Amino acid sequence: MSRHSKIFIKKTLIFFLMIVIVIVCIFPIYWLLLTSIQPRDELMTLPPHFSTARPTLQYWKFTFKETLPEFLNSVVIASFATVIAIIMGATSGYAFARYRVGGDTLPFWILSLKFFPPVVAIVPYFLMMKTLRLMDTRTAVIIPHLIITVPFAVWMIKGFIQEVPHELEEAAMIDGCSQLEVIRVITLPLIAPGLVVTALFCFIWSWNDFMFALILTRNRAMTIPVAIAGMREAHGLMWGEVSATAALGTIPILILAIILQKYLVRGLSLGSFR
């Protein structure tokens, strides 16, 4: 077999492998969207229907009518948790990167909070929110979300700042910039892609959280994941309504990924090369 034939076979196999991987990744999304528009009599059939000739929007009408408050709660909670995490991560990360506050030990212990089992903290948080009369409020959910997002933000932004040449900041200070102006004008713009990636991951983690929202809310501050878990009827899950609500819950993440995609590759690769 010639060399060109081997290369052609190799490229063909890689091409088909990529197609299989794409199908495997996209199929759950397709099935979710299909279930959200299938008539109820087609949902539990065997063999299953992989398409429908009678699409319906009744599940989406239910979703917009019944779960819009939960959707807005998720947007507000995830947005505030992300903004606070980025602010704290940027300030703390700069201190760790430039002034080595706490040496190498303190940043590691902050990162270790990310691996802290949330179930261990849920009882203290529940008692604290109950004492402060914050139960069933958005604040009660935002505060514990910070133990998920802040450690990650601090560690990531610290690494990004370390890749910015210190000479640039020194040159700006020689030209008359204050320390805050150096951070605002020089450092943060240079690590903007990294900030975007960090913010996106923080938003996703806060958006997907289930346990804190389940324990610390009742009705007013309930989020999308908790609302989905409560969609039950006498015969089991309300599959059409669950699928439509879950599809609605993926829309903000998809929109953010599409808008910020030009920053994702640069942000993920920032700090990879020295």
Tell me the pLDDT of the chain (274 aa) as tens digits. 677 787 888 889 999 999 999 999 999 999 999 999 999 888 877 888 888 888 899 999 999 998 999 999 999 999 999 999 999 999 988 988 888 777 777 777 777 777 778 788 889 999 999 999 999 999 999 999 998 899 889 988 988 888 888 888 888 888 888 888 888 888 888 888 889 889 999 999 999 999 999 999 988 999 999 999 888 775 677 888 999 999 999 988 888 888 887 777 666 665 544 4
Residue 47 lies in a domain: no
- C-alpha–C-alpha distance, residues 85 and 196, integer Å: 12
Q: Are residues 29 and 153 in the same domain?
A: no
Residue 14's identity, in one-letter code, is I
Determine, yes or no, domain membership for 159: yes
3-state secondary structure the chain: CCHHHHHHHHHHHHHHHHHHHHHHHHHHHHHHHHHCCCCHHHHCCCCCCCCCCCCCCHHHHHHHHHCHHHHHHHHHHHHHHHHHHHHHHHHHHHHHHHCCCCCCHHHHHHHHHHHCCHHHHHHHHHHHHHHCCCCCCHHHHHHHHHHHHHHHHHHHHHHHHHCCCHHHHHHHHHCCCCHHHHHHHHHHHHCHHHHHHHHHHHHHHHHHCCHHHHHHCCCCCCCHHHHHHCCEECCEECHHHHHHHHHHHHHHHHHHHHHCHHHHHHHHHCCCCC
Distance between CA atoms of 259 and 255, rounded to whole angstroms? 6
Any domain includes 191: yes
Query: Is the same domain home to 91 and 9?
Result: no
Q: Is position 48 within any domain? A: no
Asked whether 129 and 140 are in contact (CB, 8 A), the reply is yes
Q: Which domain holds residue 195?
A: 58-269
Within a 13 Å sphere around the CA of 81, how many CA atoms are in the beta-carbon half? Answer: 31
CATH of the domain at 214: 1.10.3720.10
Domain assignment present for 43: no
Do 18 and 122 belong to one domain? no
**97 in the same domain as 227:** yes
Spell out a b/e string for 156-184, using b for 16 or more CB atoms within 10 Å of the CB, else e. bbbbbbeebeeeebeebeeeebeeeebbe
- Residues 67, 113, single domain; the answer is yes
| One domain for residues 9 and 114 | no
Instruction: Report how many domains make up the chain.
Output: 2
